[in-house]
Amino acid sequence: MLLREHEAGRLSVPIPVETRRRMYRDLQTRILQAPPFNNTAALVATHHCMHLLVSYIRYTMAPEAEIDDSWISSLLTVSPFTRIVEFFSAEIGDGGNQRMQRKDFMYNFYRDTTAYEKDRMNSVIFGRSSQRNSHSSVRDLWFDAASRELETRHAMPHDVEIGWTWNGIPILFGCHDCRSTSGWRA
């Protein structure tokens, strides 16, 4: 849509990075106010799943270190969802040689980011800044927008969720804004 606006002479380019971030925030807000996220319970559950996903990715890469989130942001925005499945499959060694699966994941992820950098729309609309992901942190992708929306709905703090696996083993889904539930703390 932006490329068409530019080609019609109605959009000056390149769009500055801060303007691009504001556009993403506005888009995220519209998404979070539409189905299924207009249901606060669905928004909280998705928020908790995003915390679990990002926490697990961080932990598997550097369990005791602070890592740069920009590659996780790229994984969640530039790559297709199948790349996340490849990441977890390689992590557990699902179906074959774990080393080869990790190598395939890294090769495919590199290919995704390279294709993104070479995309015509990005180079015209966003200029040279398109060579790096505009999301420097996963906070930019989901967490800031979701937290703002949850605050707007007076859903902060909220309870952790308990999911049950086989043999009655509980898994807690939560975030930093959860309060205790039945003695559990996220």
- The pLDDT tens digits of the residues spanning 35-62 come to 999 999 999 999 999 998 898 888 888 7
114 and 42 belong to one structural domain: yes
37 and 114 belong to one structural domain: yes
88 and 167 belong to one structural domain: no
pLDDT at 135: 55
Q: Which domain holds residue 185?
A: 157-186
Report CA Rg, the chain.
19
pLDDT at 131: 44
Residue with tokens 């106010």: 33
89 and 180 belong to one structural domain: no
Lowest mean pLDDT among 96-100, 124-128, 142-146, 176-180: 124-128
20 and 34 belong to one structural domain: yes
74 and 142 belong to one structural domain: yes
- The pLDDT tens digits of the residues spanning 132-148 come to 445 567 888 889 999 99
Give the Cα-Cα-Cα angle 180, 37, 2 (nearest 5 degrees). 135
Distance CA 147, CA 47 (A): 9
Any residues with CB less than 8 A from the CB of 141 and at least 6 apart, and which?
Answer: 73, 76, 77, 135
143 and 111 belong to one structural domain: yes
Distance CA 30, CA 183 (A): 36
Closest CA to 109 of 60, 134, 74, 137: 74
91 and 143 belong to one structural domain: yes
58 and 91 belong to one structural domain: yes
Residue with tokens 């697990």: 56
173 and 102 belong to one structural domain: no
63 and 12 belong to one structural domain: yes
Q: Domains in the chain: how many in total?
A: 2
140 and 171 belong to one structural domain: no
Please check whether residue 174 is in contact with residue 51, taking contact to mean a CB–CB distance below 8 angstroms: yes
